């Protein structure tokens, strides 16, 4: 399992140790071979300077750990948040043997987007990416690539029902799960929603609401309005590594040359169909599935959230 972020977090391993010990998870360290950290070239030395991604790095490490406690974790730190550096880091993660790679970042698609696709196309490896946190509109890369599992976001609340929870599209606390219809990436054959002629984001989802989000331990809070220590963090930056961890736990990375398996009828029982809420923060799609969580497929939550491992 690999995580791609930008810049060095010098406290990454130490923070991860606090998180895992607090929740009774087995130690994951360099010494026991569970944790490793490299730069975008794959070298363990000379990591790039801290670029304010410490909270993101801790969130990624903690969510992967929560979903797959036994997974080995490779942290690849790109030289910068430049698209080319991040893409090169994905290639490095795959070259070093990662069978799942999670990417909690994105940028609005454009005419140059198709040229970046090769970095995120690695058959036999599950490439997972956050849909984004800005609501309905122009989709983001790398989530928009057809070779990527695009992860949207939900809000969870306890409920007196059989599941014990209700789950709706995330739209709160100044953010919302992103969704959108691509103008640059062709629609894959396995995606058949009616009102988008291009690739539609997202594919699946998980809790991303900061109000219902996970506790994360982080000391490197450079550039962030958080105090070192325990913080509640959300966004699709939480849902992407969690789903990647679920994929790793299930142990079938070869299924994910794309997200098609989530759209197959056999996957329906293994996903919670999220119905209710929307991701409208500005642009409104009306009552359409592209920005409203409806029965079956919709943009904000895709085909739904994990319900065990059968869909994975």
pLDDT of residue 223: 84
The overall pTM is greater than 0.85: yes
Query: Using one digit for the tens of pLDDT, what is the confidence trace for 128-146?
Result: 999 999 999 999 999 999 9
Question: What's the pLDDT band for 46 if we cut at 50, 70, 90?
Answer: confident
What are the DSSP calls for the chain, one per residue? -EEEEES--TTHHHHHHHHHHHTTPPP--TTTTSEEEEETTS-SSSPPPP-S-HHHHHHHHHHHHHH-TT--EEEEEESSS-HHHHHHHHHHHHHTT-SEEEE---EE--TTGGGGGGGG--TTSEEEEE--SEEESS-EETTTSTTSEEEEEEEEEE-SSSSSEEEEE-EETTEEEEEEEEEEEEPPTT---TT-SEEEE-SEEEE--TTS--EEEES--TTSS--SEEEE--SHHHHHHHHHHHHHHHT-GGG-SSSGGGGSGGGGGGEE---S-B--SSS--TTSTTTB--SS-BTTTBT-EE-SSTT-
Question: What's the pLDDT band for 165 if we cut at 50, 70, 90?
Answer: very high
Distance CA 278, CA 290 (A): 9
Considering the chain, what is the average pLDDT of its residues? Answer: 96
pLDDT of residue 222: 87
Least-confidence region, from 49-58, 218-227, 265-274: 218-227
Query: Using one digit for the tens of pLDDT, what is the confidence trace for 150-160?
Result: 999 999 999 99
Confirm if 175 and 133 have CB atoms less than 8 A apart. Answer: yes
pLDDT of residue 45: 79
* pLDDT (average), residues 22-40: 98
pLDDT of residue 174: 83
How long is the chain?
Answer: 312
Confirm if 240 and 151 have CB atoms less than 8 A apart. Answer: yes
Query: Using one digit for the tens of pLDDT, what is the confidence trace for 53-104?
Result: 999 999 999 999 999 999 999 999 999 999 999 999 999 999 999 999 999 9
Cα 127 from chain centre: 9
Percent over 90 (pLDDT), the chain: 95
Write down all domains in the chain, each with its CATH number in brackets.
2-306 (3.40.50.200)
Distance CA 189, CA 239 (A): 25
Kindly list the distances between the CA atom of residue 270 and the CA atoms of 1, 250, 304, 309, in Å, as whole numbers in the listed order: 22, 12, 9, 7
User: Crossing angle of helices 54-67/236-250, nearest 10°?
Assistant: 30
Distance CA 198, CA 188 (A): 8
Confirm if 255 and 291 have CB atoms less than 8 A apart. Answer: no
**Neighbouring-strand partners of residue 153:** 206
Percent over 70 (pLDDT), the chain: 100
Distance CA 66, CA 186 (A): 34
Those residues whose C-beta lies under 8 Å from the C-beta of residue 186, and which sit 6 or more positions away, are: 146, 198, 199
Question: What's the pLDDT band for 173 if we cut at 50, 70, 90?
Answer: confident
Confirm if 170 and 153 have CB atoms less than 8 A apart. Answer: yes
Question: What's the pLDDT band for 48 if we cut at 50, 70, 90?
Answer: confident
pLDDT of residue 224: 85
CA angle, 171 then 173 then 176, to 5° = 30
Confirm if 124 and 198 have CB atoms less than 8 A apart. Answer: no
Kindly list the distances between the CA atom of residue 4 and the CA atoms of 75, 80, 113, 144, in Å, as whole numbers in the listed order: 6, 11, 19, 17
């Amino acid at each position: 399992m690999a995580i791609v972020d930008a810049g060095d977090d010098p406290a990454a391993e130490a923070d991860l140790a606090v998180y895992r010990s607090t929740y009774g998870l087995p130690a994951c360290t360099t010494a026991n071979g569970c944790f490793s950290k490299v730069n975008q070239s794959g070298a363990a030395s000379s990591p790039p300077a801290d670029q304010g991604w410490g909270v993101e790095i801790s969130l990624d490490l903690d969510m992967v750990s929560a979903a797959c406690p036994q997974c080995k974790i490779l942290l690849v730190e790109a030289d910068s948040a430049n698209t080319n550096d991040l893409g090169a880091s994905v290639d490095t993660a795959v070259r070093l043997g990662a069978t799942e790679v999670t990417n909690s970042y994105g940028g609005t698609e454009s005419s140059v987007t198709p040229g970046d696709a090769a970095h995120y196309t690695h058959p036999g490896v599950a490439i997972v990416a956050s849909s984004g946190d800005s609501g309905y509109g122009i989709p983001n890369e790398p989530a928009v690539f057809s070779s990527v599992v695009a992860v949207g976001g939900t809000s969870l609340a306890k409920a007196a029902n059989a599941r014990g929870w209700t789950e709706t599209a995330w739209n709160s606390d100044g953010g919302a799960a992103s969704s959108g219809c691509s103008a640059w990436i062709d629609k894959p054959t396995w995606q058949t929603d009616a009102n988008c002629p291009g690739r539609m984001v997202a594919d699946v989802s998980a809790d991303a609401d900061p109000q219902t989000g996970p506790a994360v331990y982080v000391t490197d809070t450079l550039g962030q309005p958080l105090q070192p220590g325990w913080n509640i963090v959300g966004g699709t930056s939480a849902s992407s590594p969690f789903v990647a961890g679920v994929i790793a736990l299930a142990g079938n990375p070869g299924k994910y040359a794309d997200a098609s398996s989530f759209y197959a009828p056999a996957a329906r029982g293994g996903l919670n169909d999220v119905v209710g809420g929307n991701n409208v923060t500005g642009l409104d799609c009306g009552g359409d599935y592209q920005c409203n969580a409806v029965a079956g497929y919709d943009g904000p939550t895709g085909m739904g959230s994990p319900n065990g491992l059968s869909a994975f």
